[in-house]
Amino acid sequence: MSSATVKSAYAAGIRDGLPFIFVAAPFSLLFGVVATEAGLTLAQAMGFSIVVIAGAAQFAALQLMVENASIALVLLAALAVNLRMAMYSAALVPYIGSAPMWQRALISYVNFDQSYIASAARYEARPQMRVAERVWFFLGVSTPLVPLWMSMTAVGALVGSAIPPEYALDFALPITFLAMIGPMLRTLAHVAAALTSMVVGLVLVGLPSGTGLLIAAACAMVTGVLVELWQERRA
């Protein structure tokens, strides 16, 4: 295969990744701000953005840490938020499953919502793409986003400590979570799952931190699956 097609696939990936800058930069900045508000150091906030690279899970972990939940519960809840990435991983197998291991290992590190969504759209639209082109396209999408995600957390952590309390930063986290939930409500099953989660979460709020959350999440997942099955049977 010519390296020219691989290079152009990489360039196309970068181009498709650029618009996501406007999503990743403020989101990461906010994580830095909220993390320092919660008491993390600059290095710890950056540690999250470099080692974990997963916005929603980082915010979820932070919230439970603010509540002084046990370490096991912090991990369980944040990893539950990330379980959707197992779906992304599975969906990539038919496209790049035959790539060399180091490439699959690298893509796994940078497999997040935006890089997966942009790449899956491209793979579907162009079935004639070769495996190497697909790999480099994926890495292209991640190229502008990953360094930005890491560096904007640092900026947020540095400016965050200078923001006074009347700016109500306490509410940045809830607003961010709610803003993430809205676009997820694509089907009736998703809405039913979200409502179940909310109601059970509120009812069980008195349980030790994080426990009610796990019960609510389990109930909500089962609700989502049941509604989906019920809709299929009616269709």
Partner 1 sequence: MTYSTAEIWLIIVLLGAGTYLIRFSFLGIIGDRPMPQIILRMLRYTPVAVLPAMVAPLVVWPAATAGAPDPVRMIAALAALLVGVWKKQVLWAIGAGVVTLYAGLFLTGQF
Between 75 and 158, whose beta carbon lies closer to partner 1?
A: 75
Between 4 and 168, whose beta carbon lies closer to partner 1?
A: 168
Q: Tell the smallest beta-carbon distance from residue 4 to partner 1 (Å).
A: 27
Q: Tell the smallest beta-carbon distance from residue 128 to partner 1 (Å).
A: 20
Q: Tell the smallest beta-carbon distance from residue 42 to partner 1 (Å).
A: 13
d(CA 116, CA 107) in angstroms, rounded, equals 10
Category of 164 on φ-ψ map: left (φ > 0), alpha (ψ -120 to 50) or beta: beta
Query: By the 8 A CB rule, do 45 and 156 touch?
Result: yes
Between 145 and 173, whose beta carbon lies closer to partner 1?
A: 173
Q: Where are the strands (E) in 104-207, listed by range?
A: none
Between 147 and 174, whose beta carbon lies closer to partner 1?
A: 174
Q: What angle do CA 174, 215, 80 make, to 5 degrees?
A: 65
Q: Tell the smallest beta-carbon distance from residue 209 to partner 1 (Å).
A: 10
Between 11 and 113, whose beta carbon lies closer to partner 1?
A: 113
Nearest one of 219, 233, 231 to 189, comparing CA atoms: 231
Q: Is 99 helix (H, G, I), strand (E, B) or coil?
A: coil
**178 CB contacts (<8 Å, ≥6 apart)?**
none
Q: Tell the smallest beta-carbon distance from residue 23 to partner 1 (Å).
A: 6
